[in-house]
Amino acid sequence: MGDPTDDRAPDRPPRAAMLEALSVRRNVLAGLAAGVALALLVYLVRTFELLGPNLETRQYPLLGPEGYFLLLGFVLASATAILVATALTVVSVVRLAREEV
């Protein structure tokens, strides 16, 4: 490593400071909340037929329609969470870049 008395050594790794400056933790939590909320809304609309009855007569082997919709809901929640977290982090990067100029 280096000399512990060296004043140039940071208290935390630079990566941690960058993640904190970009509010990545807050962005991930906001993305997760948005993803779960959207997936739950779509799941409830679909399984409880909130927009009217489903006229399709599809067969869903093994899991049934609820199981497949839960799996699709997980995929939707994950994708939405990643999208929202990425977008918020990009906004943080742009905001920090403008402050530096």
pTM score of the predicted model: 0.72
Residue 3 reports pLDDT greater than 70: no
Q: Where are the alpha helices (DSSP H) in 1-101?
A: 14-21, 24-47, 64-100
Q: Where are the domains of the chain?
A: 22-50+64-100
Q: Which residue has the tokens 């399709």?
A: 56
Kindly state the average pLDDT of the residues 32-48: 91
Q: Which two structure tokens, joined as six digits, stand for 99? A: 């402050």
Around Cβ 50, how many Cβ atoms within 10 Å? 9
pLDDT beyond 90 at 7: no
89, 27 contact by CB (below 8 A): yes
How far does Cα 64 stand from its chain's mean position?
27
Q: For 48-66, write each residue's pLDDT tens digit.
A: 877 777 767 677 788 887 8
CA 67, 31, 89: angle at the middle one, nearest 5? 145
